[in-house]
Chain A
Amino acid sequence: MQIDLLIEQVLNGVQFGVMLFLMAAGLTLIFGVMGLINLAHGSLYMVGAFACAAVAAATGSFWLGLVASLAAAAAAGAIVEVVVVRRLYKRDHLDQVLATFALILIFSEGTRWLFGSSPLYLNIPGALSGAVSLPGDLDYSLYRLFIIIVGMAVAAGLYFLIAHTRLGMRIRAGESDREMIAALGVDITTLYTLVFALGAALAGLAGAMVGALQSVQVGMGEPVLILAFVVVVIGGIGSIKGALIGAVLVGVIDTLGRFLLPAALHLFLPASQAASIGGSIASMLIYVFMALVLVVRPQGLFSANA
């Protein structure tokens, strides 16, 4: 086993994890503060990717696209909160799941209606394309490195926002006792809309950054949404720190599993069988990990309300 291959795979895992963190952070904030299960979070990810692709195609600038993705996803999030989600806070989780599932269908069909069902073109900006040499003779995609850095910066920013600002204080207060902070005169309605828009913007940012790497198409958000829920469950509901650590764990386990399991099975199985069986087991690995975490710590690794 070459050591630089292993390092590269760990970096890949971290990059995947950081992307999941951007999704899971919004999800866990919304659940922690408002007690709402938002299945439509994947649609906001898609909105971000489409906004970025459309603006980048019109202006030729990926960076403007990135700004547009933040704005479009935040706006879509705020509108959804005001028009639909606001009515759901007092309802039980089944109603929330039903209503936000309907939102997925509406977003998907709406996007298809606007952009068609063929995937859109969105490429990595010239300044970030190609590979960089890291110490130890390792070539690594510059863009993936960029995603890691942006993700870490967002994590640091969120930590600062929640731990050291007035808004963050209100968010934390909202998590522990929402009646009390409403009684203290904090405008809870606006706070909810803000939190929802913030979560949506993070999802949109993830969608735009990943869209350039993968493909921008209708339905791109749902597979990521499932993983983001896994991250939230592992990390502990409502905890940003949990979301970060859970996301990186899921990313690294998934990536290393895909790479190491077939290699391990190949020690005693023929190559094509090892590849096929190893691949199948690898795709289950993170769910097995989630089940283990639930057995040992049912509230997740860093539950906010523990």
Chain B
Amino acid sequence: MRKILAAGVMALSIGMAGTAFADPIKIGMITTLSGGGAGLGVDVRDAFQLAMKKSGNKDIQVITEDDARKPELAVQIADKMMQSDHVDLMTGIIWSNLAMAVVPNVVAQDVIYLSPNAGPSALAGKNCNKNYFNVAYQNDNFHEAMGQYANKDYKKVFILAPNYPAGKDSLTGFKRYYKGEVAGEVYTKLGQTDYAAEIAQIRASGAEAVFFFLPGGMGIAFTKQYAQSGVGLPLLGPAFSFSQDVLGAIGDAALGVKNSASWSHDLDNEANKEFVEAFKAEYKRLPSVYAAQAWDTANLILSAAAKASVKDKDAFRAALKEADFKSVRGKFKFNTNNHPIQDIYVREVVKEDGVLTNKIVGTAFTDHGDAYAEQCKM
């Protein structure tokens, strides 16, 4: 009898505590944990989980599933998470073609989606949605920064990206700010690993530099083959081509390469120091830009959960939009289309204590939004 009573009191107090603080939140994370892009998804998952663990918040439950970089699989997982797990929020997708397959359907069912990486242009302009928050960037952003940077030194640049939404956004973004001549423009197959044909075209093009966007294993393959080819033109790229997850595998071929990002592990602010230390201590490796974005996504959710109940969608969306959290990027706020306004830096690949990593060498844009925000009517 005493036991039952005690259990009753316990249950009551837990229930009370629940209403006193926050409703439990169920987050569905779909990310790439196997196949060619697994390094990116693993960083997103690890940083997100670490942020949740550090917060000590017990009301948040994260369900993680692997999409293997397959759009059809991601769609199935999303349906399952919404229909049988009844998740309140969703996040995690790395690749823009998967985001295009999943996000419109998710937000149409009034589930809030927070993107820790992909930011296709199609979701930033006319088709923006009040349930879609991009905590990373609009796809064009990093590439725009590199276009701006290339103006300074190069009159003729060869540009290269995979043939999928983010690849097209990439080259569009680069050309939006680059004033010089485009010596050649090539789209490769997503997941391609041999770039001999493209490198031969670069050699014949007469360009002064090469801008390329090839995330994950594609970038490793390209950079190594490029170093072997003897072409030797300077390489430029967004952070994805030289992120922490691929630098080890590229090796010294990456040294000295300039790339653009909204974040770097040496960015000087309290939140970032705490993040880099915690990540290194937990996982014994340096975080990548994907990890930083996932960490910010988690902290944004935590900040909104402290202000509003996830059951009250309007209040929760408003709380998210305030972006009242300490971003590892220093400053961060949302534009009218729920995409970030942030600074974008130019980084250089250097060797620190025998480990290849990126160091900030300049700022390309301050408080940079995106070109699609004005088409967004929310």
CA distance A118 to B245 in the complex (A): 7
How many contacts between A and B, using CB within 8 angstroms? 134
Closest to A4 in B: B204
Q: How large is the interface on A (under 10, 10 to 19, 20 to 34, 35 or more residues)?
A: 35 or more
Interface string of B217-250 (1 = CB under 8 A from A): 1001100110011100000000000000110111
Our pick among A131, A142, A215 for the contact of B220 (Cβ within 8 Å) is: A215
- Report chain A residues within 8 Å CB of B168: 276
Q: Tell whether A61 is near chain B: CB-to-CB under 8 Å.
A: no
CA distance A8 to B230 in the complex (A): 13
Q: Tell whether B152 is near chain A: CB-to-CB under 8 Å.
A: no
CA distance A76 to B69 in the complex (A): 28
CA distance A306 to B250 in the complex (A): 47
Q: Is B34 a contact of A219 with CB atoms below 8 Å?
A: yes
Our pick among B182, B193, B229, B248 for the contact of A220 (Cβ within 8 Å) is: B193
Closest to B175 in A: A272
Q: Is B230 a contact of A130 with CB atoms below 8 Å?
A: yes
- Report chain B residues within 8 Å CB of A141: 196, 225, 228-230
**Shortest Cβ distance from residue B182 to the other chain A in the assembled complex, whole angstroms:** 7
Q: How large is the interface on B (under 10, 10 to 19, 20 to 34, 35 or more residues)?
A: 35 or more
Q: Tell whether A189 is near chain B: CB-to-CB under 8 Å.
A: no
Interface of B is mostly: helix
CA distance A212 to B249 in the complex (A): 10
Q: Is B203 a contact of A5 with CB atoms below 8 Å?
A: yes
Interface string of B284-305 (1 = CB under 8 A from A): 0000000000000000000000
Our pick among B185, B193, B200 for the contact of A271 (Cβ within 8 Å) is: B185
**Shortest Cβ distance from residue A65 to the other chain B in the assembled complex, whole angstroms:** 15
Q: Is B221 a contact of A271 with CB atoms below 8 Å?
A: no
**Shortest Cβ distance from residue A279 to the other chain B in the assembled complex, whole angstroms:** 4
- Contacts A5-B204, A259-B200, A283-B189 known; A216 to B182 CB distance under 8 Å? no
**Shortest Cβ distance from residue A108 to the other chain B in the assembled complex, whole angstroms:** 7
**Shortest Cβ distance from residue A143 to the other chain B in the assembled complex, whole angstroms:** 6
Interface string of A197-239 (1 = CB under 8 A from B): 0000000000000101111111110010000000000000000
Q: Is A259 a contact of B197 with CB atoms below 8 Å?
A: yes
- Report chain A residues within 8 Å CB of B197: 9, 12-13, 255-256, 258-259
- Of the stretches A67-75, A89-97, A119-127, A165-173, the one at the interface is A119-127
Q: Tell whether B194 is near chain A: CB-to-CB under 8 Å.
A: yes
Closest to A278 in B: B187
Q: Tell whether A187 is near chain B: CB-to-CB under 8 Å.
A: no
Closest to A217 in B: B217
Q: Is B229 a contact of A219 with CB atoms below 8 Å?
A: no
Most B C-beta atoms less than 10 A away, residue of A112, A142, A215, A216: A215
- Of the stretches B35-43, B128-136, B332-340, the one at the interface is B35-43
- Report chain B residues within 8 Å CB of A118: 38-39, 42, 245, 248-249
Q: Tell whether A100 is near chain B: CB-to-CB under 8 Å.
A: no
Q: Is B249 a contact of A124 with CB atoms below 8 Å?
A: no
Q: Is A112 a contact of B34 with CB atoms below 8 Å?
A: yes
Q: Tell whether B163 is near chain A: CB-to-CB under 8 Å.
A: yes
- Report chain A residues within 8 Å CB of B39: 117-119, 217
**Shortest Cβ distance from residue A48 to the other chain B in the assembled complex, whole angstroms:** 15
**Shortest Cβ distance from residue B355 to the other chain A in the assembled complex, whole angstroms:** 12
Q: Tell whether A262 is near chain B: CB-to-CB under 8 Å.
A: yes
- Report chain B residues within 8 Å CB of A119: 39, 217, 220, 246, 248-249
Q: Is B251 a contact of A215 with CB atoms below 8 Å?
A: no
Q: Is B163 a contact of A143 with CB atoms below 8 Å?
A: no
- Report chain A residues within 8 Å CB of B187: 262, 275-276, 278-280
- Report chain A residues within 8 Å CB of B249: 118-121, 215-217
Most A C-beta atoms less than 10 A away, residue of B217, B228, B230: B228
Q: Is B225 a contact of A272 with CB atoms below 8 Å?
A: no
CA distance A297 to B187 in the complex (A): 33
CA distance A14 to B251 in the complex (A): 27
Q: Is B228 a contact of A130 with CB atoms below 8 Å?
A: yes
Closest to A270 in B: B185
CA distance A143 to B194 in the complex (A): 13
CA distance A220 to B249 in the complex (A): 14
- Contacts A16-B196, A215-B193 known; A121 to B248 CB distance under 8 Å? yes
- Report chain A residues within 8 Å CB of B186: 262, 275, 279
Closest to A19 in B: B194
Our pick among B42, B185, B191, B200 for the contact of A8 (Cβ within 8 Å) is: B200
- Report chain B residues within 8 Å CB of A220: 36, 193, 217
Q: Is A213 a contact of B33 with CB atoms below 8 Å?
A: no
Q: Tell whether B188 is near chain A: CB-to-CB under 8 Å.
A: yes
Q: Tell whether A15 is near chain B: CB-to-CB under 8 Å.
A: yes
Interface string of B246-259 (1 = CB under 8 A from A): 10111100000000
Q: Tell whether B201 is near chain A: CB-to-CB under 8 Å.
A: yes
**Shortest Cβ distance from residue A145 to the other chain B in the assembled complex, whole angstroms:** 11
- Report chain B residues within 8 Å CB of A130: 228, 230
CA distance A36 to B192 in the complex (A): 29
Additional 9 contacts, C-beta under 8 A, given A141-B196, A283-B163: A16-B196, A119-B246, A139-B203, A143-B228, A212-B224, A214-B220, A215-B220, A220-B36, A279-B188
Residue pairs across A and B with Cβ atoms less than 8 A apart, 7 shown, are A112-B38, A117-B33, A118-B249, A131-B229, A131-B230, A259-B197, A272-B185
**Which A residues are within 8 Å of any B CB, using their own CB?**
2, 5, 8-9, 12-13, 15-16, 108, 112, 117-121, 123-124, 129-131, 139, 141-144, 210, 212-220, 223, 255-256, 258-259, 262, 271-272, 275-276, 278-280, 283
